[in-house]
Amino acid sequence: MTHSPEQDDFTRADKAAEFIRQKTALQPKIAIVLGSGLGGFADELVDATVIPYSQIPHFPLSSAQGHAGNLVMGKVGEVAVAVMQGRTHYYEGHSMQRITFPIRVFSRLGIKAMLLTNAAGGINLQLEQGSLVVLRDHINLMGSNPLIGPNDDRFGARFPDMSEAYAADFRKLALEEGKKLPIKVSDGVYVAVHGPSYETPAEIRFIRTIGADTVGMSTVPETIVARHCGMKVLAISCVTNMAAGILDQPLVHSEVLETGERVKHSFVALLKAVIPRMATSLQ
């Protein structure tokens, strides 16, 4: 494809990456996206530099409650990381390409692995509020794909392989570390819907029938773009509420944020244990 220097995402991502490089001497190989109610992990970083999304050229801004809207560059132990304190969602009215632009920026920063987190509804009846689920696969019910449109070969191939969307070695080490924590950690399949309305009980019965354990409104577009750019992916759902029809009560977003706060310490402990092992595997 031909490229207009001012109009293509590759050029815009390069400009944003260069801006970030000017703000910190760190050169992370791992980037982390923190979902609803999980942004507290960024407060645990050492030698942190906080960059509001509003300052980064072309970066999308999040309007969702529970998403601070900062890129935090810092360290977990000795491992340099780039942490998105909140993400932009498809339901906010942005294009798929727009909500995944930060992943493009990370690829231009030299990031080799993404750790994606989300707040999700529990569908598998063996899950409970506060459970952490390491994703082994996903189902895209968002009705779109961030790779629709002309392909930019500088990012990746036209038809990226998704047979191992979530890296097997990352999943293994996350489950190993999870067993050491006083919280339930399992693996499962995540289904992405575009929202913003919560699913109906009938939709949840359908989603369970097709093989999903958790449901949410993010993560899958980011995973697709990360794989398109050649990055390895680990994703973890925090089950912040049981999906519609499973419990006899309405769904409210405040419950998502409250559960995220309740499991924060276990969640942070898992990430702190997993990230150094991810970094070692990338060497």
User: Hey, which residues are catalytic here?
Assistant: 36, 67, 89, 91-92, 119, 217-218, 241, 253
And the tokens for 91? Answer: 């339901």
And the tokens for 271? Answer: 């990430």
Q: Which long-range contacts (CB under 8 A, 24 or more apart) does 90-93 make?
A: 90/142, 90/144, 90/194, 90/195, 90/217, 90/218, 90/221, 91/194, 91/195, 91/196, 91/217, 92/62, 92/63, 92/64
Phi and psi based region of residue 93 (left: phi greater than 0; alpha: psi -120 to 50; beta: remaining): left
Torsion of the alpha carbons at 178, 278, 78 and 230, rounded to the nearest 10? -140
Q: What number of CA atoms fall less than 13 Å from residue 234's CA on the CB side?
A: 26
Please answer whether residues 185 and 270 qualify as being in contact, where contact means their C-beta atoms are separated by less than 8 angstroms: yes
Q: Are strands 30-34 and 132-140 parallel, antiparallel or unpaired?
A: unpaired
